[in-house]
Chain A
Amino acid sequence: MKRIKLQLCGIAGLLYAFLYTPIAVVMVYSFNAAKRGTAWKGFTTHWYTTLLDSPEKLLAVRNTLILGLVSTGVSTVLGTLLGYGLARHSGKARNFVSWSIYLPVMVPDIVMAVGMLMFYSLVRDWLGLFQLGLPTMILAHITFQIPFIALVVRSRLAGMDPTIEEAARDLGANPWQRFRFVTLPLLFPGILAGAALAFTLSIDDFVVSFFTTGPGATTLPILIYSSVKRGITPDINALSTLMVLASILGTLTVTFFQKRWRHDNSK
């Protein structure tokens, strides 16, 4: 038994190393004093200070955050409603809606991106709306985030005991009160997990953003992509390190709140 445990630890260790070594290398080289190449020329934090001087990078950070927060906010609300409706209501359209949610999840990113671009062009020719820029990117991100949140919420609801809600109804709560005081608190960790997933999908997204972006709406992944094509300099490493740290911080925050929520609710 102990040998199996050792082997398991070994495999797990290798997997973690495979996942995290590239990130570690990026973080270490962000302190490299050499402008180009892989030779280590000394320790410096120069690249982090140049980030503050570069308006285009700061604009990209701002765009990425606005895009992530707004699209996550809207898609969480809509996705939760969709998930709740699918889990708790039956109807003729339910089966169709149920499997059609899987479509944006399974369709390749680039197909979806090109589709959105063509859709925007078509509507722009008729109605003059959808000038490419931050709003069109937000809409595109909401489109692919909603199914993910709906799926997470629906599966969480499926695991929840429906008799609790029935009891609330029997005791005189109307649907809104039922949702607000019974379902929502129980569902909250699931919604939070879905929102965290949606936010991650948004800030990591490159393909859809690249096709729906407009002037002045560059996001960090797009900026890093064009910088890589030109040749990686350590300021990109510095930017990537900050992104990784932000993701780690976000994940820890969500986990902390989930634990606290569960702890508060089990009292």
Chain B
Amino acid sequence: MRHILYLLLPLVALLTTDCSQRVPQLNIFTWSEYLDPKIISEFEQKFGCRVVLDYYEDPESMMAKLASGGSSLYDIVVPSNSNLPALIKRGLLASLRAQNIPNLNNIDSRFSDTPFDPGNQYGAPYQWGTTGLYIRKSPGTTLDLSWALVFDPAKAAGPFLLLDDPRSCIGAALRYRGRTLNTTNSAELKEAGAILASAKKRSLGFEGAVGGRNRVLSKGASMAIVYSGDALRGMEEDPETLYFIPREGSEIWLDSLSIPARAPHRDLAENFINFMLDGRVAARSAEYTRAATPNKAALEFISPELLKNPAIYPPPEVMQSLEYAADLADLNQLYDDLWTHIKAD
């Protein structure tokens, strides 16, 4: 009896070491509904490997998972511009070896030298978009296309949901009052915090990513703060809904494909990024997610209706009012504390 138990220990050791060398495997950690499954199976066939997908619903759980051992588990992760600097600083990402990813040249110059990742060293731009309001149209009323629909109690058009993303929400409240999305002025932040706290009391709560859009679609709410790509797909499913960028301005975000620092299959991951950056593949990704593509080689393969849609590709005057959520180094703490207060009260 004892002998059987002695066998247990080396058996455990054997089972728990990484032994995935049979068929090369690529472990992707991404937002749900963000990668076209057909593109994934094409990649599997082309490179003779198996792709395993794990999903997250908000960037904070992604960062927590990476920090607690996930950086040696996953090969591809999809951080957005606001998480990228923090991940780089904590050494959780591996740099992209440009010689293995020639398609990086396909990236539009607007996105190849951003303040948060100059020269695309750590992230290959995948999709960009905006944050705005997604509402169910009520016929016969003219809408004020402004953040006031959410933040002004007098103008509320029905039950609404806030987005579970600190920089997007706090940024929306700041833009509502004409401040910059990246302010470090504590008076302005306090004002934004008060606006959000009052909105939270009147709202149905916070929802992450596609949750808000899904509830508007299922008529559980009439308004939600959402990301543009998700909202566009909702609009196609239900033409009674509308996505718009409020006139006071909003956030522009850029999601990139990155490789965690101790990724087990780094070469395959770089092949994947190169594959995704190819013009035709990037165009198909953009059509799947309905977000905007940062890939200039993809533009000729995207259908003209999508290119003309101002909700996906905003006109220059709207682009002026959009800001990236910048990394504020130590002052990020101001936003973290504010968000904790808003959520906890």
Contact = CB atoms under 8 A, between A and B. Distances in A.
A230 B218 contact: no
Interface stretch (A97-105, A129-137, A190-198, A200-208): A129-137
Contacts of A38: 218
A133 B55 CA distance: 15
A128 interface: yes
B321 interface: no
Interface stretch (B67-75, B196-204, B249-257): B67-75
B335 to A, nearest CB: 23
A250 interface: no
B32 A226 contact: yes
A121 B69 contact: yes
A229 B74 contact: no
Contacts of A120: 69
B84 to A, nearest CB: 22
B12 A216 contact: no
A218 B74 CA distance: 14
B245 to A, nearest CB: 23
Contacts of B54: 215-216, 218
Contact of A215 (B12, B16, B52): B52
Interface in B51-78: 52-57, 68-70, 72-74
A56 B37 CA distance: 12
Nearest to B68: A117
Contact of B17 (A37, A131, A218, A230): A131
Contact of B220 (A37, A128, A214): A37
B315 to A, nearest CB: 31
A40 to B, nearest CB: 13
* Closest 10 pairs (CB-CB, A-B): A231-B214, A36-B218, A215-B27, A37-B218, A216-B52, A135-B15, A229-B57, A135-B16, A131-B18, A215-B52
B73 A131 contact: yes
Choose among A36, A128, A218, A229 the residue with the greatest number of B CB atoms under 10 Å from its CB.
A229
Interface string B93-125: 000000000000000000000000000000000
Given A139-B16, A215-B74, A230-B214, A132 B69 contact: yes
Interface residues of B, number: 36
Contact of A229 (B1, B12, B69, B211): B211
A208 B137 CA distance: 43
29 contacts: A36-B214, A37-B219, A37-B220, A38-B218, A120-B69, A124-B69, A129-B13, A129-B17, A130-B16, A131-B16, A131-B17, A131-B18, A131-B72, A131-B73, A132-B70, A139-B12, A216-B52, A226-B32, A226-B57, A229-B57, A229-B211, A230-B32, A230-B57, A230-B209, A230-B210, A231-B210, A231-B215, A231-B217, A231-B218
Interface residue tally on A, bucketed by range: 20 to 34
B215 A128 contact: no
Contacts of B16: 129-131, 133, 135-136, 139
Choose among B25, B27, B57 the residue with the greatest number of A CB atoms under 10 Å from its CB.
B57
A240 to B, nearest CB: 18
A214 B17 CA distance: 13
B208 interface: yes
A229 to B, nearest CB: 4
Interface string B8-27: 00001101111000000101
B73 A215 contact: yes
Interface in B320-335: none
Contacts of B74: 215
B52 A226 contact: no
A132 B211 contact: no
A183 to B, nearest CB: 14
A3 to B, nearest CB: 45
B55 A226 contact: yes
A184 to B, nearest CB: 13
Contacts of B210: 230-231
Given A131-B73, A215-B27, 7 more contacts: A132-B73, A139-B16, A229-B208, A230-B33, A230-B210, A231-B210, A231-B218
Contacts of B17: 128-129, 131
Contacts of A129: 13, 16-17
A89 to B, nearest CB: 15
Nearest to B238: A36
Nearest to B74: A215
B57 A36 contact: no
Nearest to A120: B69
Interface string A4-39: 000000000000000000000000000000001110
A112 to B, nearest CB: 15
Contacts of A56: 53
Contacts of B13: 129
A230 B211 contact: yes
A37 B237 CA distance: 14
A124 B68 CA distance: 11
Interface string A213-231: 0111010000000100111
Contacts of A121: 68-69
A111 B247 CA distance: 46
Contacts of A139: 12, 16
Nearest to B4: A77
Interface in A84-137: 117-118, 120-121, 124, 128-133, 135-136
